[in-house]
Structure 1
Amino acid sequence: MAVLCAVQFTDVLGTTLVVAALPAMLADLGAPPSAATPVVTVYSVLFGALLVLGARLGDRYGAVRVLQAGLVLFGLASLAAATAPSVGVLVAARGVLGAAAALSVPPALRLLTAAAPDGEPRRRALAAWSAAGAAAGAAGLVLGGVLTDLAGWRTLFWLSVPLAVALLAAVRATAPAAPRQAAGRLDVAGAAVLAASVAAVVGGAALLEHGGHRPAGGLLVAAGAALAAALPAVERRAADPLLPPAALRHPGLRAGALASAANTAATSSAVTLATLHLQEEAGFGPTAAGLALVPFSLCVVAGAALAARVLRRTEPRTAAAAGLAVIALGDAGLLGALLSPWAVPVAAAVAGLGIGLSSVAATSLGTAVPDDLQGTAAGVVNTAAQLGTALGVAVVLLVAGAAGAAAGWLTAAAVALAVAAALLRSRGRVAADRG
């Protein structure tokens, strides 16, 4: 479990690790400020776009084998990034790192659920997994700034090379066996359409954050939505669909994906806006702004530990809704940053407790599916989280740019409350259907 959670932490860490290091990277490589967007976003674009494909490859060729391939690719891409002579090479290496993460995370989650039987062991395993992922995003902001200040930005990637080797060796020594589906034809058309759809939405959302690129960003998001609308028709023609109809119909998977998207949309956006506020309005440096978010990461771990106990007595939908309500409270508490910057660590800690609770419940809900859908469920839940981050940050920063930081934080809180209410309503419908 520790090894698989370390894989999750390492891969999710890559989404934010370079944010604080960007000025040093661009200056060292002689790149213009416009290069910042592709350096940051290409990882998230390919990570989100290929997660479901990574899950299905794990089903077809074995979760351990695909996870090992992802770790090898991660180590090689880290080496390329560490030695990048130009910003173009760095962007390409970051893209390969995102693809490697997409190959690694779904098989790792599949192995985790295979290793932990139902009941208390499963709850503890999912709590550790969710804490690792949720904490990694905030930790990247801190580690990126501190390591860059101490040893230079290339250290971020040099350290990833031995880490990938160590994880590869640990996986080979400890990974449990996981059920594998019978061999069949991979749904290439479905994989291509889904990957293009997610990549367009994630990439377009990143462009929406920047005034000069908003028209292009809007077009990309619209194109992604159109591709997503066409996906069911493509899947109906496939002999072995990338997204099996049974998975799409499963109420638990749908609710888990919705909660996962809301978790990251409401927290990543609020934390990103808080980081920008601390640097632009309160005069904090990148490292100081990152350190102000340490309570968020610590409370994510505490919230996940709490979730393991809450889920003994409460069904996952209710626990996820409660966690989202706590996230909304933390997001609204960030309004205090307008009076004092020290409100940020306090409010972020509250939001961290909320996402710790809600992310465990969402993952538990989304992966409570039949054995043959476990791989797909892992890919869908993680893809939803990536989409939530991309769209949430884009929307909240747009609102903040137009109406101020307070409006941005209130928007994030409103998203969390709306999805919490939807989960509670759907709980009633599911109970009625069972009755």
Structure 2
Amino acid sequence: MSLTTAPPHQSQRRSVAALAIIAACQLMVVLDGTVVYVALPKIQADLGFSTANLSWVVNAYTLAFGGLLLLGGRAGDILGHRRIFVAGIALFGLASLAGGLATAEWLLLAARTAQGVGAALAAPTALALIPANFDEGPARTRAIGVYTAVAAAGGAVGLILGGVLSDWASWRWVLFINVPIALAVLLAAPAAIRETPRRPGHFDLAGALASTGGMTALVYGLIRTSAPALAAAGVLLIVFLLREARARQPILPLRLLADRTRAAGYATMLAFPAAMFGMFFFLTQFLQQTHEYSALRTGFAFLPLTLLVLVSSALAAKLIPRFGASPLAATGAAVVTAGMLWVAQISPDTDYATGVLGPVVLFGLGAGLLFAPLTGAILSGVEPADSGAAASLLNAMQQVGGALGLAVLVTVADTASTPIDGMSRAFWVAAAFTATAAILALIARRRQPRNPL
């Protein structure tokens, strides 16, 4: 059963506008996780952050975003996805404006936290709006392809944009840039995007609190390597699962995980971003510290990845009907694994042309082949009442997978005697993550031919 059925005579113009709005939202949300990385030195100099506190410019956003995703998705199911989408974009835009105007540490951190809350409302509802606005079949497949291309390329776009804005204007513009985009989305969304039915009823407040607390503690514990936080996260998430098994209207219906294909899709989405976040983290350091690249040049070093993700995502959308999504997703993960094994040979003598560009190209090609089929697999066959929960869990897996993977890779890198040796070890482990993703994609294959995964 499909999530919902779009009107049969939906205009092409409205479809294009709806997809542009949803893609713009996803781009803002994803790139804001990386856009501040290259601007951090200038933020530190301007606002007087200590080295320890500077990391919270990134962490405040990640914690709020990852911790509130399930709540945001379920709020869309109950109150209407477009309604919550618009509220999230409005909050995100206002928080971006406040962050750009910040004159003190606490003001910027408060703004980044509010950005994360807005992203947690907007991201899962944006994905859930695709089935509500596009018929199942080629139209929806193309829409998911665009969405996933933007999601996969957004991190690299953030690095490029952050380098351009911080070098050519000011670090404040890495936040101000969101304001006109958010305003345009707010003005266009009511006319272009079809609302989903509201499903009033009991709101699982206890489940929302347990999941939010557990996800926040988990992300915090991974970022800060805090054993007490990780223990608290374990307790809260167990409480959350027990609660969801009994709740009349849970924020995470456990029946979503009963489907083998969907469960394996979520597991794949946990494993793959673990490698992706690590690649950005370590290659950015390698280029800036070893080869003394500027922030701008470092950002543009990832431009081939961005372009190839867009190309391979469009290609995947066309190939799914012919080959099925599971082989494509597995192939994409295998291509990325080859890139990880290549970059694991990194040494102080490795230059961009011979040791970095090739892996970046393979990562871009593979990521595009994986993300679109994977997203389609997770959304396929979800009941309309569960669409927000399914989408929010997908986004949560990306955040948690990225945070968990980066924490593991940094720990592995710290065991080496030199930074370059540490990076090499981390890339070997990242290759294991992507190989695991390939295996999971094959396990997830449906018995019916040509169905997603």
Change (3 A) 1:105 1:34: same
Give the match's secondary structure for 1:427. coil
**TM-superposition CA deviations, 1:328-373 (whole Å, max 9, x none):** 1111221354222322122112111111111111100100122222
1-structure distance, mates of 2:61, 2:117? 8
223, 232, 243: which is aligned to 2:232? 223
Q: Which residue of 2 aligns with 1:389?
A: 402
- Give the letter aligned to residue 213 of structure 2: A
Q: Which residue of 1 aligns with 2:340?
A: 331
Question: Gaps spanning 5+ residues in structure 2: where?
Answer: 1-18, 417-421
- Give the letter aligned to residue 300 of structure 1: V
- Give the letter aligned to residue 48 of structure 1: G
Q: Which residue of 1 aligns with 2:79?
A: 61
Q: Which residue of 2 aligns with 1:239?
A: 248
Q: Which residue of 2 aligns with 1:374?
A: 387
1-structure distance, mates of 2:407, 2:114? 23
283, 294, 312: which is aligned to 1:303? 312
107, 112, 118: which is aligned to 1:94? 112
2-structure distance, mates of 1:335, 1:260? 22
Give the match's secondary structure for 1:20. helix
- Give the letter aligned to residue 151 of structure 1: A
353, 361, 365: which is aligned to 2:365? 353
2-structure distance, mates of 1:160, 1:103? 16
Aligned: 1:316 with 2:312: no
2-structure distance, mates of 1:430, 1:383? 28
Give the match's secondary structure for 1:21. helix
Check whether the contact 1:13–1:139 (CA below 8 A) recurs between aligned residues: yes
Q: Which residue of 1 aligns with 2:8?
A: none
153, 177, 184: which is aligned to 2:195? 177
435, 438, 443: which is aligned to 1:420? 438
Q: Which residue of 2 aligns with 1:341?
A: 352
Aligned: 1:364 with 2:376: yes
2-structure distance, mates of 1:55, 1:428? 26
- Give the letter aligned to residue 124 of structure 1: R
- Give the letter aligned to residue 370 of structure 1: E
Change (3 A) 1:224 1:317: farther
Change (3 A) 1:286 1:222: farther
Check whether the contact 1:260–1:381 (CA below 8 A) recurs between aligned residues: yes
1-structure distance, mates of 2:440, 2:46? 48
Please report how far the alpha carbon of residue 13 of structure 1 lies from its aligned counterpart in structure 2 after TM superposition. 1.1
**TM-superposition CA deviations, 1:63-103 (whole Å, max 9, x none):** 11111111111121112101111111101100100110111
2-structure distance, mates of 1:417, 1:222? 29
Question: Gaps spanning 5+ residues in structure 1: where?
Answer: 209-215
2-structure distance, mates of 1:192, 1:300? 36
**TM-superposition CA deviations, 1:298-342 (whole Å, max 9, x none):** 111112112102211233333222211111111122135422232
262, 265, 272: which is aligned to 2:271? 262
Aligned: 1:108 with 2:119: no
Higher fraction of helix: 1
Q: Which residue of 2 aligns with 1:15?
A: 33
Check whether the contact 1:14–1:140 (CA below 8 A) recurs between aligned residues: yes
Q: Which residue of 1 aligns with 2:426?
A: 408
Please say which of residues 151-160 and 244-253 is displaced more in the overlay.
244-253
Q: Which residue of 1 aligns with 2:297?
A: 288
Please say which of residues 235-244 and 38-47 is displaced more in the overlay.
235-244
Change (3 A) 1:430 1:398: farther
Check whether the contact 2:336–2:434 (CA below 8 A) recurs between aligned residues: yes
**TM-superposition CA deviations, 1:267-313 (whole Å, max 9, x none):** 12122211111122222222222211111111111121121022112
2-structure distance, mates of 1:223, 1:289? 38
Change (3 A) 1:314 1:228: farther
1-structure distance, mates of 2:239, 2:105? 35
1-structure distance, mates of 2:273, 2:432? 13
- Give the letter aligned to residue 388 of structure 2: G
Q: Which residue of 2 aligns with 1:165?
A: 183
Change (3 A) 1:306 1:219: farther
- Give the letter aligned to residue 299 of structure 1: L
Please report how far the alpha carbon of residue 426 of structure 1 lies from its aligned counterpart in structure 2 after TM superposition. 4.3
Please report how far the alpha carbon of residue 173 of structure 1 lies from its aligned counterpart in structure 2 after TM superposition. 2.3
2-structure distance, mates of 1:396, 1:121? 39
Please report how far the alpha carbon of residue 123 of structure 1 lies from its aligned counterpart in structure 2 after TM superposition. 1.2
2-structure distance, mates of 1:179, 1:346? 47
- Give the letter aligned to residue 195 of structure 1: T
Q: CA RMSD in A?
A: 1.7
Change (3 A) 1:171 1:327: same
Q: How many positions carry a matched residue from both structures?
A: 422
2-structure distance, mates of 1:349, 1:203? 32
Q: TM-score, normalised by structure 2?
A: 0.89
Aligned: 1:6 with 2:27: no
Check whether the contact 1:73–1:100 (CA below 8 A) recurs between aligned residues: yes
- Give the letter aligned to residue 437 of structure 2: V
Q: Which residue of 2 aligns with 1:211?
A: none
**TM-superposition CA deviations, 1:210-243 (whole Å, max 9, x none):** xxxxxx2x43233323322222212234221111
- Give the letter aligned to residue 325 of structure 1: A
Q: What fraction of aligned residue pairs are identical, expressed as a percent?
A: 36
**TM-superposition CA deviations, 1:145-176 (whole Å, max 9, x none):** 21011111111222222221111112122112
Change (3 A) 1:306 1:145: same
1-structure distance, mates of 2:433, 2:375? 19
Check whether the contact 1:83–1:154 (CA below 8 A) recurs between aligned residues: yes
Q: TM-score, normalised by structure 1?
A: 0.93
Check whether the contact 1:134–1:355 (CA below 8 A) recurs between aligned residues: yes
Give the match's secondary structure for 1:392. helix
Aligned: 1:204 with 2:221: yes
- Give the letter aligned to residue 351 of structure 2: S
2-structure distance, mates of 1:337, 1:294? 20
Q: Which residue of 2 aligns with 1:213?
A: none
Give the match's secondary structure for 2:414. helix
Please report how far the alpha carbon of residue 428 of structure 1 lies from its aligned counterpart in structure 2 after TM superposition. 7.6
Please report how far the alpha carbon of residue 423 of structure 1 lies from its aligned counterpart in structure 2 after TM superposition. 3.0
- Give the letter aligned to residue 363 of structure 1: T
Change (3 A) 1:428 1:367: closer
Q: Which residue of 2 aligns with 1:75?
A: 93
46, 49, 54: which is aligned to 1:36? 54
